[in-house]
Every structure is written in C-alpha cells, then in structure tokens.
Amino acid sequence: MINRPNGQAYTTATYRLFDDKADFHKKAEGIAVGLTVGSWTDLPEVAKRQMEKHLGQVVSVEAHEPEGAAPGERYADITIAYPDLNFSRDLPALLVTVFGKLSMDGRIKLLDLNPSADFLQAFSGPRFGIAGVRGLLGVHDRPLLMSIFKSVIGYDLDGLREQFLQQALGGVDLIKDDEILFENPLTPLEKRVETCIGAARQAERETGQKLIYFTNLTGPTSKLRENARRAIDAGANGLLFNVLAYGFDALAELANDSSIDVPIAAHPAMAGAFYPSPYHGIAAPLLLGKLTRIAGADLSLFPSPYGSVVMPKEENLAVQAALVDKALPLREAFPVPSAGIHPGLVPLILRDFGGDVVVNAGGGVHGHPLGAAAGGRAFRQAIAAVLAGQDLTAYAAAGHEELKLAIERWGVRQA
C-alpha cells in the first residue's frame, strides 16, 4: 500500500535484483531513498516532514531462491513507488529517475513501469493505432501484410521504384524502408517518397488495394520534425523511426505533432543492447511494448520467436500484450513480429498473435522463386488458408502456385 501525502500521484517501477548475500528488503529501502531524497535516517525531523512528499516507497519485495539453482541465481522482484512530484512529464525524466544510476548498480533489470494517470495525461500515444491503420487501408477482417526493401543501399530511384512496384503488386498492405537507409545522393528523401508513392498509385490502379509506405525518418534530432513534414509534403503516408537510437522523447514529440498526421512504425534497432540479458537492461515487454506505445508508435517491430533473430516466445507474447493492454488508456498498437519470416510460418504467427498482427517479411517476399510480386501473393494465400481453417500444403496444392513454390523453398514450420 502506497502512503499518499496530500493524495499525490506515484509511478511504480518493478525490478529483478540478483544477489546471493543481499538483504533484499534493506536493498529495496536503499533504492527507494537513494533514487529520491538521497538520505533519510540522518535527516532531522523537520527536514523529514518537508521531504516526505519526495520520498520513494517500497511497495513489495518478493524473494526467490530457486531449488537447486546455481550460485548467483538468488533474486528478488522489487517494486518501488516514485512520487510524480520528483520528475517532469517526459519519458527521459522518468527513466533517469527510476533506472538511471541504478542500472549500473550490480545485477538488476527493470521489468516494468506503471506510470500514474497524471503522468500519462502528457502523452497522446498512438495517433492511429490498430483501428486507425486498418481504417486507412480499409482492411478490417484479416492480419496485415508488410514487406521490406531488400536491399536499398546502392539503388537509384529507378531501381527503387521497380522494387517497390513488385512488392506492391503482390498484395502487401504496408511497405517499409530498411532502417539503415539514410539520406543519400541516389535516393534523397523527397525524391524517394515521390517515386515510391507514384509506384504505390500504379499498383493500386492494378490491384484496387490501398498501401502505406513507411519512409525511414532520419537526420539530426533537431531536424526530425522538419524532415517528417518534408516527407509528408512529398506524399509519404507513413514513417519508420529508429526509436531507441533517437530516444522515446523524440518519438513522443513526433506523435504529439498534429502536422505529422501519418502512422509511425517503431523499429527495434539497438534493442539487443537493452533486453536480452536476464541480469541487466530493460525487459522487452516494457522497452518494445509499453514505452513504445506510450511514446506514440502505431506499430512496433520486434524479433519473432520463429525467424533469424529470435526472441523467446514468452517475451514475444508479453510485448504483444503490452501493445494491446486495455488497462493502458491509449490506443492499441500493432505488434509486428519480424526477422526470417516466410509463408510457412503464417499458421504459427496467427495462432500465437491472433488476427490483429502484421505479418512482416523481407527475404520471404523477395526470395520467392518467381520474384517479389509472387512472394507477396504467397503470403496472402497463406493468410487466406489459415483464416479458412485449411492446411497450408493442401491449400497450396489446390491451384495456389505461389504458395506451393514458397513451401517448396522454405517448408512449413509445425511448432
């Protein structure tokens, strides 16, 4: 139970602390004091009364000593409440408060944050979210399909246009730049957008299908808003953003800007520096789920449990849960499990993530024996098969040649 002097608001943080010898309750008290008022027992009573409203509070300490565990595996999950009075209404201030110097204090990982309702009022969250992105596309009854440029570096505008067109003709809903495509002489921002949107319009005339192009938003942080508006003025209807390289606050600034009125997809580049260790960093569901959603991403990409950059399924599903958790008073964001995805994985993706998911593929589209357009059609056929409750191989054999060839190349993953 949190003591709330004058009814003030608190944000809680939950940590996992590993230590064979520590008194976890004493350690928790040290964190609560050390990250807020700095000292407590040595303060005179007058100062204590003055500082009490700034003091962190221990909410819970759950110690675990796994039976038969190796030395060093004794741990505790500790929850601390931090007065909102201590930090400004921005994510950098919150993160520095709850995990700044603490992140360097031994084997400790930040598992979760529960910002107060007061704190969350400073954030609009996803401008579009799942429902809004579906509304832009007019697709409400199936998972969405995204494809990725592979590759983009070294292509001129003509080469980029042809690659975009082939992806679009395959029936994908979303196409994104590669996260490593930055401003360059061959494909400068406005020209790249104009070229790709022109190809999108041509594909729409042929297929009748709308498409969102997520242009990689790059440049110095001070130029991000300007570059976003340049892209939108050139016709961009989506933005890709390397959120961890630029910071959550940069994403929040973009999402809160009414002139940047297109969906934003958050790329997880650099996430491996934060979440994989059980002993350090920030847990994936918080990093790529809750914080990314609070900051305003409409879609969040993260490693899938099946492909080439693997995240354990338990963590995957926890990321998804954070993106769609109705307890958070913000629009739900699309989960985009990524890396190494091919049509034979579609049954697992839909089984594990349900219908509100983006199936995202690069090599699984471009590596199709008949080219990228056929690769897109193979994915659409795989999605249709799963939604119809049919076996993928049987569906492919019943006149769906693109899916058949994809299965011959990559197989069908069973579990």
Catalytic amino acids? 101
Q: In a 10 Å sphere around its CB, with 0-12 CB exposed, 13-18 middle and 19+ buried, how is residue 1 labelled?
A: exposed
Structural contact between residues 302 and 335, judged by C-beta atoms closer than 8 angstroms: yes
Q: At what angle do helices 157-169 and 372-387 cross, to 10 degrees?
A: 30
DSSP symbol at 390:
-
Which of 115, 138, 181 is closest to 325 using CA atoms? 115
Q: In whole angstroms, what separates CA 107 from the centre of its chain?
A: 25
Which of 56, 66, 64, 65 is closest to 28 using CA atoms? 56
Q: What is the CA radius of gyration of the chain?
A: 24
| Tokens 């608190």, residue located | 10
Give the E-state strand segments of 326-374 in sequence order: 334-338, 358-361
Cα first-last separation, the chain: 43
Other beta carbons within 10 angstroms of residue 136's beta carbon come to 17
146 SS3 class: strand
Structural contact between residues 336 and 146, judged by C-beta atoms closer than 8 angstroms: yes
Which of 173, 127, 146, 168 is closest to 336 using CA atoms? 146
Structural contact between residues 333 and 297, judged by C-beta atoms closer than 8 angstroms: yes
DSSP symbol at 22:
-
User: What is the rounded distance in angstroms from the CA atom of residue 146 to the CA atom of residue 113?
Assistant: 30
User: What is the rounded distance in angstroms from the CA atom of residue 299 to the CA atom of residue 396?
Assistant: 30
Long-range contacts, 52-56 (Cβ 8 Å, 24+): 52/5, 53/5, 53/6, 53/8, 53/83, 53/85, 54/83, 54/85, 54/86, 55/83, 56/31, 56/32, 56/80, 56/81, 56/82, 56/83
Reported as type and span, the H/E element at residue 167 is helix 157-169
